[in-house]
Structure 1
Amino acid sequence: MKVTLTQFVTLDGVSQGPGSPAEDPSDGFTRGGWLVPHLDELFVRRTSQWMDLADGLLLAGLVDTLRLVVAPTATGAGRRLLDQPGTAVGFRLVRSEATATGLLLLEYEPGTAAVAEYQGVGAFV
């Protein structure tokens, strides 16, 4: 069985309350609904799952594919994806797409180590 996880995040990594202000007001979070202004046909066609166990599944190495939907906004507060201290997790990008409203649809698979020696800018030129 292949496990695919789809997670919605802001540019500053917040994954709490993407659908509405009332969706998840835990810890006094009042900035929900940040994803809604960016929804379009492409987004609806490409995404289908929502899981609340993201951190645990990722850190336990139980996810075969990670899909991130990154909204072009920053909330400045809220629960973040992978907000728990733990083992570093590395992924490699296998697909990316941008919607007309600015959402980034990113697909990752487990990859190399999350931490490596800095190779300098020359390594990327």
Structure 2
Amino acid sequence: MRKLMVAAFVSLDGVMQAPGGPEEDTTGGFIHGGWTVPFADAVFGEAMAALFAQPFELLLGRRTYDIFAAHWPRVSENSGDADLATLFNGVTKHVATHRPDSLDWPHSRALGGDVIGALRALKAQDGPDMLTQGSGALVRQLLATDLVDTLQLMTFPVLLGAGRRLFGDDAQAAAFSLDTTIVSPTGIVVSRYVRAGKVQTGSFALD
């Protein structure tokens, strides 16, 4: 069976909207696009390289798909991102969309009307693990339907106040264990959590 990993950039208050640039996603009047850029450092770059080092297929919401499809096929061979562009252009992309006929980035596949059902079927198959990038609305669906096996959170030392958040109120209760964590020189905390069964409770009350 495949695993499904959610990898996300988040602020201290859980915002994940528009981490890469001012015009990436201004929905709701969001004015802080590009909030991750000042913190990028070598340790962060190494963590990202390690994330993409194992075989994977991308799992994307439609908004993130459109952003990626407009960018990665156009990256120059001389760019510092050329290797990542080659990787993203070549892997299978599973896309949650109501417009399957408009998926023109090579190796893109629409998940169909029943996104969650399609993902359950994909997880039951053999093949590379599935990895999300961005795709906040889709990720919240995954968390609400207990489909996430691993969370890799890259938490940046900034409060944004407003913006689309990673976790919704409908996220299904689940326990995770901390697998690895590193802290970059600029203060990015990169932590990987793996599913660890159901939430356990207890009490500190005195007898």
TM-score (norm 2): 0.53
Equivalent-residue separation in structure 2 for 1:6 and 1:86 (angstroms): 16
Equivalent-residue separation in structure 2 for 1:86 and 1:36 (angstroms): 28
**Contact 1:6–1:67 (CA<8 Å) still a contact in 2?**
yes
Give the one of 89, 101, 104 matched to 2:174: 89
Matched residue type, 1:35? T
Considering fraction of residues, name the structure with more helix. Answer: 2
Q: CA deviation at 1:30?
A: 1.0
Larger radius of gyration: 2
Q: What is the CA RMSD across the aligned residues, in angstroms?
A: 1.9
Deviation sequence 1:21-76 (CA, Å, 0-9, x none): 21110111111211111111221221246141221222322222110000000011
Q: CA deviation at 1:113?
A: 3.6
Q: CA deviation at 1:114?
A: 4.0
Indicate how the Cα distance of structure 1 residues 72 and 117 shifts in structure 2: closer, same or farther if over 3 A, else same.
same
Q: What fraction of aligned residue pairs are identical, expressed as a percent? A: 37
Structure 2 unaligned segments of length 5 or more: list them: 53-131
1:43 aligns with 2:44: yes
Listed as ranges, the matches of 1:1-16 within 5 Å are: 1-16=2-17
Indicate how the Cα distance of structure 1 residues 115 and 12 shifts in structure 2: closer, same or farther if over 3 A, else same.
farther
SS of match in other structure, 1:37: helix
Listed as ranges, the matches of 1:1-125 within 5 Å are: 1-47=2-48, 48=52, 50-52=133-135, 53-114=138-199, 116-119=201-204
Indicate how the Cα distance of structure 1 residues 73 and 97 shifts in structure 2: closer, same or farther if over 3 A, else same.
same
SS of match in other structure, 1:77: coil
Structure 1 unaligned segments of length 5 or more: list them: 121-125
Q: State the number of aligned residues.
A: 120
Larger mean Cα displacement after TM superposition, 50-59 or 63-72: 50-59
